[in-house]
Structure formats: structure tokens, C-alpha cells
Amino acid sequence: MTVSNIKEVVSERLGERYFEIEHDSGLKMIVYPKENYASSYVIFGTRYGSIDTAFRLNDDREFTCVPEGIAHFLEHKLFESEEIDAFDRYSKTGANANAYTSFDRTCYLFSCTGKLKENLEILLDFVTHPYFTEQTVQKEQGIIGQEIKMTQDDPNWALLFSVLQAMYKYHPVQIEIAGTVESISHITADLLYKCYNTFYNLENMVFCAVGNVDVDTVLEVADRILVRKDKVRIERKFFEEPDGVNKAYVESEMAVTAPLFALGFKENIRTPERTTRELILSQCIIELLSGKTSKLYNELLGDGLINSNFSSEYLFGYGYSSLIFSGESEKYDEVAKRIKAEIDRLSREGIAADDFERVRRMQYGRLIMSFNDIDDIANGVVASYFAGESIFEDAEVLSSITLDEINDRLRSSVHTDCCSLSVIKPKGE
């Protein structure tokens, strides 16, 4: 066995535990056994997403700029090899395999109820052995180009990027994850290898296996396949944004039956990272403002201004942070007015202690329930690791946040004069 360190991490509060392995290859590996679970869920992820359009290595003087959508393109291409596609290999083991690229990371995953060792071999092998040629890249450009055109017909997807483009002037979070047909036409095999060698360095990655798993099985496969390479120091570009939003209002037309709206509140930040505490406080603020037990939500619903499609989220990552409310409404301007009025009221009067405690307990309950789902655990481990913390940190924060903290967070991060409204109207309206 070639690992340098194995540490058991225990949460007395949650009654949960996992094993953290500093593998000799440089890869951080998390093995999270769950008793009485028949299935296994495994993720192999890299801190590399669609916003990584500019980066600098080691002692480079200048940033390297790459085409928009290249992280997603690379995810697609990595499943191929000179001999056999990874999906074809998985079909022989019965595993359910997939991958995804987000703003901040790319992850490859599978779930299975048997043949864990064989599936681990496939995952670790194809992710660490890229194969790109100009011919296969050109073929993929056509395939992904069709995918991009299909997503452009999805009103909810278009709405999200419309409000992001309204809020952000420079940050690449406004760029669609798959890029554009034009941008991916500039991707070459050499560029793919450059991005792969930069971001798929094992020290920039994390592995997590949850469920019916054990340390010995994982290490037996990892020791055979993973090889240490020279460490790469990556500097991701921090795109400084001006105070305020790019545009306060944007609208477009699509084939929808009723107007869709997204109201985004951009947080003006000066440092690229948000802490777990800031994240949880903002998630509680979203719930307090517009959760289904909130005063605002029930008033909007009772007045017929929104329907069950109404939703809200806290969207954050490297260099961006925003609260987004979206839904379907003929009176979207009135909905936006009411949301802003409620934010101003709570900022002025403060959040009530009873409401804060109700939401804090609700969020804690949801967190506890998430530890029954091996998919949630694995994805939570990856997100926590890339944030530099343990998945158990959320419980500690939720148990200790105070009313003063959440009021301070609301007043400092959510401002009604720093928001954008995006509307998609039915064609011809």
C-alpha cells in the first residue's frame, strides 16, 4: 500500500464518519461507508468549471485565455479512448455512469450494486488517461453544437443566463456552460491537453466513494492506477466587477405561454471566495424571504401573483454571489416590487427571532435528512473539499449562527439598488 496517511473523521453531532486518505499520488480520497446500504455511489471530480476561461501556471507572467465551453467539451471527450468508450466499459458491469460540468467543477460518477472494484478501475483509468485527436475533436464540435442549440430553446435555461448577463459585466459566470457554437469551433486537441494537464492534476482533484464501500477495495485499485505527477500551481483569474449591475432590466421573447421572470440581487464582493458561514446565512435568508412558510410567499400566492413554479436560490462561486428569485407571472413587475419591499423591510426592522429559529431548525433538519442519501453525501463531500472544509462543517455552523449574524449578512450582502430583472415574454406579446 502506497498511501501516506489515512485519517478517520467523526462527527459526534451527526453520528457520522468517513475516512480521509492522502494518497501517495497526491489525490485526496474520501471513503464514506454506510451500513446496510447495498449500493455504492462514487465521484471523481476536479476543481475546473465553465468560469475557468483564464488561468496562470507556476511562474507564467500572463494569463492563458481559452475558448468558452472548453471545460464542458473536455468532459465529453474524456470518455473516449483509442480502443473503447468508457460508457461501453460500464455497460459490461451494469453500473449507471454519468458526468457533469458546472460553473466551478467537473465530476465523473457512477452508481452500482455490484462489481465495485471493476467500476472503480474504469473510472480511475479513463479520467487519468486522456485521448484527443483533431479528427475526434472536430466530430465532437458538431455534436456539442447541436446540444448548444437545443439548450437555447429551453426557456428556464435561457432565463438563468439572461439574468446573469444582466447582473455581471465581466465575470464568466454569465457565459453558458457549454459555450457557443462559435467559441467551441476554436477548441483544438492541443488546447484540450493543456487544460487537462492543468486542471486534472491529482492535487486539484478529489475522489469520494459512499455507501457499500471500504477503504481496502478503494486503495487496492488506486494504488495500481494512480501515478504522482509534478505539482501544478494554478492561479484562477479573479474578474473584478464594478459596483452595481450591468443592466437593471432585460427582456426577450420565446415560445412560452406566460411571462417568465428572474430577479437577481448581486452581491458586490472584493474577495473571490465565500465562507461556509456566509453560504449558510444566505441560504437561511432565501428561506426567510421566500420559503413556502414565509409571509411574502403566501401573500404573493394568495394574491395570484405567483404559482407553484416560483423558486429561489443562492448562487455563489469563485468571484460571484447572488440571490435569484424566479417564476411565472403576468404581473412580474409587481412581484419584483414586493420582493424588494420585503428585503427593505427586513433590513430596516430586522428578522424576527421566532422566524430565524424556525428556519434555522428547518435547514438543520434538511441537512440531517441529506445524510440518508449517498448521492447527496458524495456531492456534498466534493463541494466541501473544494471549499477547503469538511462536509460536517455545515452542521456546526447551523448550530451556532445567531440572529445578529443573519441580520448583518442581510444588510451587507442584499441591496435592492443592486438587482436585475429579466423577463421572457410569449412571442408576439
Active site residues: 75
Residues 413/150, Cβ–Cβ less than 8 Å = no
Contact 155, 256 (CB under 8 A): yes
CB 43 within 8 A of CB 207: yes
Q: Which residues contact 121 (CB under 8 A, 6 or more apart)?
A: 221, 224, 225
Question: Which residue shows C-alpha cell 423591510?
Answer: 345
User: CA–CA distance from 216 to each of 223, 237, 238, 311 (Å)?
Assistant: 10, 39, 40, 43
**What does the alpha-carbon distance between residue 20 and residue 23 come to, in Å, rounded to a whole number?**
9
Assess contact for 234 and 57: CB atoms under 8 A: yes
Q: Which positions ≥6 away from 347 have C-beta within 8 Å?
A: 410, 411, 414
Q: How many C-beta neighbours within 10 Å does residue 372 have?
A: 10
Q: What is d(CA 336, CA 295) in angstroms, rounded to the nearest whole number? A: 15
CB-count exposure of residue 327 (10 Å: 0-12, 13-18, 19+): buried
CA-nearest of 197, 122, 159, 161 to 326 is 159
Q: Are 49 and 236 in contact (CB under 8 A)?
A: no
3-class SS at 6?
A: strand
Q: Is 181 exposed, middle or buried (0-12, 13-18, 19+ CB in 10 A)?
A: middle
- Where does 270-378 show beta strands of DSSP type E? 311-317, 320-328
Closest CA to 347 of 298, 262, 284, 416: 416
